[in-house]
Amino acid sequence: MARENKTTTQSPNAPDFLAWHVTNRSEKSFWNKVGAAWAHKDGQGYTLQLETCPINGRIVLRLPLDDTPPQKEEGR
């Protein structure tokens, strides 16, 4: 799912995805930004850089449309 072109507002070194650590407590999800991912030039993979390594929950990669976590989680 490599992105063809970066948006005009993104710098050339901007990540293709932001990495979020998601945990569920009761009926509420908590999203904390933990890193970013960049597509390889050959389109065959990604480099994931984490600022922290969570031991529970899951890591979700989302397009960096803004710096706020999504309101509703998609795809799960």
Tens of pLDDT, residues 28-41: 999 999 999 999 99
Please tell me which residue, 10 or 26, carries the higher pLDDT value.
Answer: 26
- Predicted confidence at residue 12, as pLDDT, reads 74
pLDDT at 67 exceeding the cut of 90: no
Nearest by Cα to 59 from 37, 43, 28: 37
pLDDT tens for each residue of 44-54:
999 999 999 99
How would you class 43 by CB atoms within 10 Å of its CB: exposed for 0-12, middle for 13-18, buried for 19 or more? exposed
- The beta-strand segments (E) located in 3-69 are 17-25, 28-39, 46-50, 58-62
Model pTM score: 0.72
Mean pLDDT of the region 49-73: 84
Read off the amino acid at residue 53: C
CA distance 27 to 10: 34
